[in-house]
């Protein structure tokens, strides 16, 4: 079971990429979700939210089980948090698109969501910084990216109102 949790926590080995694993995982998440949602049209929001919820809750267990394999408290190899955080604004984009609430090409929203998520994940405005600093465990590892994802969702939503 530990090997499965390690595989999930590192997003199938993405976390072992030596150069910017978090950024590359966010980018690969974006590409995978774009293919599923925009090209293959797997965009049933009920199924998406159910699958996201399962992955979200299981990730806490997977990260808790895996983090002892690494030396640092917030190991860079654990990148499932980037997947979860980056997926949040993409799910919002799918929703906005399904309601015809976007007036610029959907690809622009995907690109904006990537840069915004990385910005909030790196700069860590409050409460992102709170979880990063005060919860040096599986909970903090995941929740700081969830907060960055929420900030990204907020900005994406505001952008959708403006265009």
Cβ(91)–Cβ(34) below 8 Å: no
Spans of all domains in the chain: 2-10+18-162
Q: Which two tokens stand for residue 4?
A: 């499965």
Which residues have a Cβ under 8 Å from the Cβ of 160 and sit 6 or more positions away? 96, 101, 102, 109
Q: What is the pTM of this model?
A: 0.92
Token reading at 101: 């609430």
Q: What percent of the chain has pLDDT over 90?
A: 75
Nearest to 11 by CA among 130, 145, 113: 145
- Using the predicted structure, report yes or no on whether residue 26 has a pLDDT greater than 80: yes
The two tokens of residue 15 are 């976390």
Give residue 91's Cα distance to chain centre. Answer: 10
Residue 31 tokens read as 């590409």
Q: Kindly tell me if the per-residue pLDDT of 73 is higher than 80.
A: no
131 — pLDDT class (breaks 50, 70, 90) = confident
């Amino acid at each position: 079971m530990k090997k499965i949790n390690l595989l999930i926590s590192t997003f199938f080995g993405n976390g072992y990429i030596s150069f910017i694993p978090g950024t590359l995982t966010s980018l690969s998440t974006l590409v995978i979700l774009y293919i599923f949602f925009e090209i293959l049209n797997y965009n049933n929001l009920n199924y998406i939210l159910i699958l996201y919820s399962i992955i979200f809750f299981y990730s806490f267990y997977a990260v808790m089980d895996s983090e002892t394999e690494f030396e640092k408290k917030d190991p860079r190899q654990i990148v499932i948090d980037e997947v979860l955080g980056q997926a949040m604004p993409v799910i919002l984009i799918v929703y906005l698109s399904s309601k015809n609430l976007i007036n610029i090409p959907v690809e622009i929203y995907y690109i904006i969501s990537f840069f915004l998520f990385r910005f909030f994940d790196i700069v860590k405005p409050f409460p992102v910084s709170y979880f990063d600093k005060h919860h040096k465990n599986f909970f903090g590892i995941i929740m700081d990216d969830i907060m960055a994802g929420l900030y990204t969702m907020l900005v994406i939503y505001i952008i959708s109102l403006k265009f």
